[in-house]
Structure 1
């Protein structure tokens, strides 16, 4: 039974993304579907992508959109740093300090961060490794964006990522594969794994929302000529696999595969839960 559960977990969380990778490779990288899709948004008369010249579209979909993943990462980092504060007040000699923190209602926040230190650290590490993986692939494949290629009035010949791939050295100046902006939305998948750890009944909604955010981020850049559609799919696959690996290291498979709770289980007041040795 345990072996069946383990197989099912890896089939859905590892096997399915790898299958998606194979399909994306065959359907996009080995065909001209990417170019055919981008052609729909290219104006041959002006030799440009009209939406690339819309300042409002750029501000809303590219500049402002960064706020969501950026603030999430920053809040996780702040939470991680605050998680070390409450354990400093243990002991009788800090009684007055604890009383003051309770009075100004800061103590509950500090206790919360201390209890969830592992979760904050997971989000920080997952965000960092996802960003690192995307940047590594960008530098070691040297794929140029559509607007930079001769296909769309640019100067560089279009090549697929596997034609330039270098494992240990920079492949060139191109930095378009996988989609960086899309990966920013997909990094929110880290929150899904935290939700799975706690068996939160809305974890699937968080999963679908994170996937939708990544696809929206990626598609808007396709409309502007700064990515092909397959770049978005590849970004999602890379980010998912990276988050999965980090989640397995932090939480373990058994914790992640537990069924979600149909209803919130009653428990003690979170502000009254003491800090254990494991939380310090």
Structure 2
């Protein structure tokens, strides 16, 4: 109990302080959930009004050939779709192993958070009836599109294309925020912003290939951050209660 009460104090050794799993304030969670609600409404409007998604995807579509010329582009396929995703996965695994070997619970939790976001998106995607742009009638396919939460039409196609699974891999690095907060808040926000940019970049590469609408990627980032916030909050509060009763 005496050791627990001294964690994260100024005089606590850096090795101990950075290993601990801290509590975030209720204000922090309230602020982020309000922002998530705000952007959720915006993304819902964007998704319901499909003209924005269709207009953006049409830029990369060749109506004469009735396909997306960049669908099998080597750079988009190997670098954006495979290499970047593999690098994020490898980074998460390395962080997990390092946390286990050095007994650093915060690193272990952050590594698990990197996997939690894509897992949540993957579950939603697996149950979605929305088909990818390259499968839709508007882009030379046979599937029928429909607005988010709208009535699922007959002939909606293979589905499993909402939210954007690939973009979620980039967004998952937002979990690094929890690794550096609160000791190095500027670095924490930098990692969060860099992961946001990475997710958007990886997602837009899929838009260029005809694999996703842009709104699919926005929702991927939304779900990843929601899942990471919720998981970190639950784990940190559970551990804090355990410490108090130990």
Q: How does 1:9-88 map onto structure 2 within 5 Å?
A: 9-82=28-101
Cα offset for 1:124? 3.4
Contact 1:141 1:162 survives alignment (8 Å): no
Instruction: Give the Cα separation in 1 of the matches to 2:227 and 2:44.
Output: 19
Instruction: Give the Cα separation in 2 of the matches to 1:187 and 1:154.
Output: 31
Contact 1:141 1:172 survives alignment (8 Å): no
Aligned to 1:138: 125
Instruction: Give the Cα separation in 2 of the matches to 1:208 and 1:149.
Output: 33
Cα offset for 1:181? 0.7
Instruction: Give the Cα separation in 2 of the matches to 1:146 and 1:31.
Output: 12
Q: Please, which runs of 5 or more residues in structure 1 have no aligned partner?
A: 83-112, 166-170, 256-276
Number of residues paired by the alignment? 213
SS in 1 for 2:114: helix
Tell me the C-alpha RMSD between the 2 structures: 2.4
Aligned to 2:176: 191
Instruction: Give the Cα separation in 1 of the matches to 2:119 and 2:75.
Output: 30
Cα offset for 1:36? 1.0
> With structure 1 as the length reference, what TM-score do the two structures score?
0.69
Deviation string for 1:91-125 (max 9, x for gaps)? xxxxxxxxxxxxxxxxxxxxxx22x2x12321233
Contact 1:179 1:234 survives alignment (8 Å): yes
Q: Please, which runs of 5 or more residues in structure 2 have no aligned partner?
A: 1-23
Aligned to 2:191: 206
SS in 1 for 2:181: helix
SS in 2 for 1:162: coil
Aligned to 2:159: 174
Change (3 A) 1:205 1:74: same
Change (3 A) 1:81 1:164: farther
SS in 1 for 2:141: coil
> With structure 2 as the length reference, what TM-score do the two structures score?
0.78
Instruction: Give the structure with higher Rg (CA).
Output: 1
Q: How does 1:239-278 map onto structure 2 within 5 Å?
A: 239-252=224-237
Change (3 A) 1:126 1:143: same
Instruction: Give the Cα separation in 1 of the matches to 2:98 and 2:25.
Output: 32
> Is 2:200 aligned against 1:215?
yes
Aligned to 1:235: 220
Cα offset for 1:155? 1.5
Instruction: Give the Cα separation in 2 of the matches to 1:243 and 1:121.
Output: 14
